[in-house]
A = this chain, B = another copy of it.
Amino acid sequence: MPMIEEQLKVLKTTFDKYAGKDGDKGSLSKAELADLLREEFPGMAGDKKELDAFFTGLDGDKDGKVSFPEFVQFAATLLLIMGGM
């Protein structure tokens, strides 16, 4: 399997761990995003107002759910900005 596909599947497995907690298993609700941020980006988890702003930013197509492509684009942008890579 090509490396990029394999690496994305690993990332999808982590995404699914949070996305699978309630409702639609393929996307993040706001509560699931809160869990993900708290566990994966401890420095970023703020109050409800910040969570709302994050969720709005992530939900590119405004359907109230965050898909895997929406999530990886956001996480990649975040890490580039934070200078993590």
Q: Report the interface size for chain A: residues with CB under 8 A from the other chain.
A: 31
B5 touches A40 (CB 8 A): yes
Closest to A18 in B: B4
Q: How many copies does the complex hold?
A: 2
CA distance A32 to B19 in the complex (A): 33
Nearest CB in chain B: distance from A73 CB, A:
4
CA distance A15 to B73 in the complex (A): 14
A23 close to chain B: CB less than 8 A: no
Which of B8, B40, B84 has a CB less than 8 Å from the CB of A76?
B8
- With a CB–CB cut-off of 8 A, which chain B residues contact A68? 76, 80
Kindly list the 8 A-B residue pairs having the minimum CB-CB distance in the complex, ordered from nearest. A73-B73, A69-B76, A2-B40, A69-B77, A72-B72, A7-B11, A4-B40, A69-B73
